[in-house]
Chain A
Amino acid sequence: MSDQQLILVVDDDTDLVEALAMKLESENFAVAKAYDGVEGFDKIKERRPALVILDVMMPRKDGYQLCDELKNDAGYKDIPIILLTAVAEAVNSTNYTHMGGKTTLADDYVPKPIDLDKLMEIVRDNL
């Protein structure tokens, strides 16, 4: 266990968290889980992960807000963050665009529905 890298998965879709955890564990990562941005930050303070997989649309504290907080904190800014972006072209909102996502300091982005093999590639590239 001590030589396993810890990945934190933060998403309010509990089934997706479970599926991602199973995939990561099969690739010999240790996994921590959180279900919104507030819990996510608590988990990071509890045990520093090697990388965070972070959903955007979550209740209480969304992924953009958590990403901003981490990247503007000297103690956590070096933790790689991969954003999961689910809001697609079908959403008619002038307030949201993928550009909004790209103005964050996240290290990479993965669109939903997630290609798990692609996600694993991105995880390894960012560790």
Chain B
Amino acid sequence: MKTILVIYHSQQFGNTKILAEEIASGILYAGGAVELINTNERRVAMDDFLKVDAIALGTPDYYSYPAGTIKTFFDDLYLWDKAGKPVKGKPAVLFMSHGGGGRAQQPFENFVERFFQRVGETVTSGRPIGDEAKKRCFELGKELLLKLSAV
């Protein structure tokens, strides 16, 4: 059975968390196992990351940039990669919440492209999170799992 790690930063409004849980539910529905880490509560450890088959990654838009703890995750990836760990190439889906412009999407996707194979389109949503964005996240979780199972 495939396991997906959902990594997200959520604090003030809990919006990114809502999206993360929709993705998790889509993964469960499609038959996968899932683990969730809110990087605002704890840092992703190397083993959390290495043992899973794919990841889902989500962030709010802070100053047109991903949240600091998400940047920290990428900084860690850089070091694990340097240390010779197999960090590159996992399939990944992305999601994002924002208060208006959503300009964090570009730097967010740039980071992701260095390490992962993106699956589907990044789901972006303004606040509050609407039903449409929730549904897209659920479907994205399903899509990721189906893609993994097909391999």
Determine if chain A interacts with chain B.
Answer: no
- Residues of A near any B CB (own CB < 8 A): none
- Residues of B near any A CB (own CB < 8 A): none
